[in-house]
Structure 1
Amino acid sequence: MPNLEENLEYNRRYKEVLHIFNVSLKNNKGLETVRSFIKAVIEYYDYAIELFFKKLYENKMIDEIPDSPIKRYKKIIEITKDKELEESLKYYKLLKLALNSDARIINEYRKSMVIKFRTLSGEEFEINIKILKDIAESVKKFSTIISKYI
């Protein structure tokens, strides 16, 4: 298995997240752009975590790869016991919820933009520009940390 720097798909997904944040969200603070960012972050995390488990499986360190993304998320934290890794993944579950929730945007196209999400169970939460920036920073941190394991 090639290391992360040589994995073209990994690099493409990582660069896509950063591009959407640094370019698209700076120019267009619309709901669809935010949804694209959330989707790209989730796909990046899922892909990187899957690579981690493939490496463990190939090296016969685990018997099977967990079958769902949320099981892989829980298992990677359990296996590594790395607090920094866990911290860098803190937005993962929130973003998964956001992707499958009803959303409405307040102050669209402005710096004070807020997206209000409502889950099927009625739970509500908000994401603003500062949280989106924190998410982008956590992706960068995760990239550095996960490269130690893959």
Structure 2
Amino acid sequence: MENSEKEPTVLFKFRQAMDAGDAAEVMKMLHNEIAVDVDFGGGVRPLHLAVQQGPDEIVQILIAQGADPDAVTESGWTALHTAALMGNLETAQVLIDHGATLNIANDLGHRPIDLARAHKRQSMISLLDKAGKKPWQFWKK
């Protein structure tokens, strides 16, 4: 079977494992079949999907395996944009702790904190604001 024929099946299997929170299968596939920052289309990476649907354990596995917390989709979204929009504090903290840049703007000019403000996610606003006041965040990238 050619790689082009195999790829959709592998991506589908990987997505199913992530959505199910099957940490063992995700790890197995990362070690044997798939790259941690594989593009699912449109610049969407496994970390983007895990932040949307998967449990935090999958987010942590992906980061531990080298997923880029600042990877952007074709529309400029990072995993932190999604966490901020959804109000997922634990995931946002994991991303911040692993170096996610706070001030990346998407194609509409929105930073993660802008999305949190637009959706009145006070706890997320506080988290991002507090993280943004740490000097090391201003000197990244």
With normalisation by structure 2, the TM-score equals 0.27
Bigger Cα Rg: 1
Higher relative contact order (CA 8 A, sep 6+): 1
Tell me which protein shows more helix as a share of its residues.
1
